[in-house]
Structure 1
Amino acid sequence: MTKWIDISQPLTNSIAHWPGDTSFQYETALTKEETGSVNIGRITTSAHIGTHVDAPFHFLNDGKRILDMDIDRYIGPCKVIDVSEFPAIDEAALKSKQLTQAERLLIRTSLPNNPERFPDEVPPVTPDGAAYMKKLGVKLVGVDTPSIDPVTSKDLAGHHALHENDIYILENVMLDHVEEGDYELVALPLPLKEADGSPVRAVIKPLEGDSK
């Protein structure tokens, strides 16, 4: 039986967070000894911690919130590709993979998977890359970086270009241990009605008949 592969960053108190944002903290707020029956945990976190999805409200005041998003986008066939030889996820990088169609695309870049270190730079998604994804039929893109824009970006050209091409955003997936190929993806956000993003537990498994 084919097993699911976890491509999520474990949420620990040492996980890296966006500079200036709220860090992730878990504590056992009440112990079994204190309650007489159970341990009760408490978390404090940003919505954009670890492996997470962005809603358009993250970068547009009138954008959709998490609970407005189409849940079907986060479940279904996906393709994993490696563009680590390229400095950006642009049209040239995508064309090098000779793709014909992909509804969900998970992209491995040159950035090593290190959940405890926030990177200084990331390979961004460019506007022409987003437009080319649209031609391929991409409805969701996942990257192994904390953002699909440069860390210092204020105009967030990648976020806006993906939104304009109706492509959902999944960030911080862990792909260093994953081979290129066709998979089934599940990466469901929490039902946070007003939120601009949500952590997810992202998992994949090879599609039946794929050569792995």
Structure 2
Amino acid sequence: MKHSQWIDISQPLTNDMAHFPGDSPYNYSLTYAKKDGGPANVGQMTASLHTGTHVDAPFHYDSEGETIEQLPPDLYIGQAKVIDVSHTETITADVLSSFDFEGISRVLLHTSLPNNPKHFPEEIPELNPDIADFLHVKGIKLLGVDMPSVDAPDSKELATHHALHANGIYILENLMLDGVHPGTYELIALPLALHGADGSPVRAVLKPLEENRNED
């Protein structure tokens, strides 16, 4: 019997991974260790909730927005389409119009930004806010990107965050898509139920679907 292969598209959490400038870095250490005579190894971690691969709750950019535990889990489970937009540094509604979104409510964008969890990029490809209206019309409810943010790291307005929110589209960031072929997959990227929180790290995985054979 042949078993389907799940593909891990989340950044590994390591003490030397990059973090958003000014944010809390990730750190794992042992609070108690067997080598010191304890009955078990017990670890602790500190990190920003936007460490590595993570989801944004609307509360992240809207003080009246939903917090992470208020979001339905099925947003982050189900069919998702990976599309390759690495040919351009500016991703607009016009760029996305060349792709087929029929029957899909989750889209993951493979951009030109190389996957490098240990380096925080000085610049990232631009996601024009006009993609939000376009994706809403197409029925998209979750947008994933292989970048640390859907807006430029130095953005004060967070225009694309707000445009997506206004169109009911939720955000998944810092995916690892360099080795993923464009096509349709089963996605699982569940956040933790952190009450009152503005986001959560996730373990994001994809399982190829049969129709990928027909994808270019």
Common fold by TM > 0.5: yes
Alignment of 1:42-81 (within 5 A): 42-81=44-83
TM-score, scaled to structure 1: 0.96
Residue 149 of structure 1: aligned partner: 151
Deviation at 1:97, TM superposition (A): 2.2
Residue 8 of structure 1: aligned partner: 10
* Preserved CA contact (<8 Å) 1:75 1:186: yes
Deviation per CA, 1:68-127, whole angstroms, max 9, x where unpaired?
111110000000000011222210220122443420000000000000000111123222
* Preserved CA contact (<8 Å) 1:124 1:158: no
* Preserved CA contact (<8 Å) 2:32 2:38: no
* Preserved CA contact (<8 Å) 1:184 1:206: yes
Deviation at 1:61, TM superposition (A): 0.8
Runs of 5+ consecutive residues of structure 2 not aligned to the other structure = none
User: Runs of 4 or more off by more than 4 Å in structure 1?
Assistant: none
Alignment of 1:179-194 (within 5 A): 179-194=181-196
* Preserved CA contact (<8 Å) 2:184 2:211: no
Q: Distance in 2 between matches of 1:187 and 1:38?
A: 30
Instruction: Name the amino acid aligned to 2:13.
Output: L
Q: Distance in 2 between matches of 1:99 and 1:209?
A: 14
- Match of 2:59, SS state, is helix
Deviation per CA, 1:118-154, whole angstroms, max 9, x where unpaired?
0111123222111111111101010000000011110
Q: Distance in 1 between matches of 2:193 and 2:36?
A: 31
CA RMSD of aligned residues (A): 1.2
- Which shows bigger deviation, 50-59 or 128-137? 128-137
TM-score, scaled to structure 2: 0.95
The one of 136, 141, 144 aligned to 1:134: 136
Deviation per CA, 1:10-34, whole angstroms, max 9, x where unpaired?
0000111000000000011210134
Q: Distance in 1 between matches of 2:86 and 2:210?
A: 27
- Match of 2:45, SS state, is strand
